[in-house]
Amino acid sequence: MKKAILFVLILAMLAGLCACGSTAPQATPAPAPVPESTPEPASPAEKTAAPDEAAETPEAAAEAQEASETNILVLYFSRTGEQYEVGVIEKGNTAIVAEMIGEATGADLYEILPADDHYPMTYKELTDVALQEQREGARPAYAGELPDMSSYDTIFIGAPVWWGDWPMILYTVFESTPLSGKTLVPFSTHAGSGLSGFDRSLAAAYPDCTIAKGLAIAGSDAQNDPDQVRSSVAGWLSELGF
């Protein structure tokens, strides 16, 4: 009997020892304490401006724009589609020359577009429409409003030669746009007729302007030999003092 009691006691002691060595179940960690007020991410308006961002106020932007303004404008008319000797083109011959003048002088560019673009994209049909307009002395309307000319002292005016003259839409511009006292510089692209009297007709339209020496560029050169044309444009501009 004593032995049995002793055995039970030993078992009980062993059981107690095992229980002490076993891994107790992990207590679920309490949620981390949340700070009373979590700071919100800064809204864009509250972001601290970087030094150069700070300088970009509306006033600073307006001043920068004013400083970069030019007093030179390149006003031009030009057609894409099928053109003489160059096939179907995506940028007009005159537009190419206009852009070169713009690049070299920092001038603003403005393309005269017809209000109602009735000009065919095929060469033969275009020549028919243009001839008809010339015979009628038409004044085709241009789209939108031209830029404020009071900001410019020198205006380059360019167009393709159409039947030995400015396209009639240029006369619409001349007759509706006072340019007294300014220097006007004609340029053409053509297929053999050169400047075709652009300078004389410009002088007749603007008797109180200075008409500077013009430039005539073959349309096929503008399209196919831009380096040579760029160099002609540069030489001419330098003669004019640009």
State which residue, 53 or 103, has the beta carbon closest to ligand FMN: 103
Nearest in space to 96 (alpha carbons), one of 232, 242, 212: 232
Of 41-49, 79-87, 100-108, 179-187, the segment contacting ligand FMN by CB under 6 A is 79-87
Residue 102 binds to ligand FMN (criterion: CB under 6 A): no
- Residue 163 as a binder of ligand FMN (CB under 6 A): the answer is yes
d(CA 6, CA 14): 12
Is 164 a binding residue for ligand FMN by CB under 6 A? The answer is yes
Among 105, 189, 197, 232, binds ligand FMN (CB under 6 A): 189
CA distance 89 to 183: 31
**Shortest approach of ligand FMN to residue 49 CB, angstroms?**
47
| By CB under 6 A, residue 190 contacts ligand FMN | yes
d(CA 173, CA 158) in angstroms, rounded, equals 12
Residue nearest to ligand FMN (CB): 219
DSSP element (H, E) containing 109: strand 108-111
Among 102, 140, 160, 186, binds ligand FMN (CB under 6 A): 160
Beta-bridge mates of residue 186: 157
197 binds ligand FMN (CB under 6 A): no
Check if the beta carbon of residue 195 is closer than 8 Å to that of residue 166.
no
Of 160, 33, 182, 185, the C-alpha closest to 101 is: 185
- Does 110 help bind ligand FMN (rule: CB under 6 A)? no
Asked if residues 239 and 212 have their Cβ atoms less than 8 Å apart, the reply is no
Would you tell me which residues interact with ligand FMN (CB under 6 A)? Answer: 78-79, 83-84, 92-95, 126-127, 130, 160-164, 189-193, 219
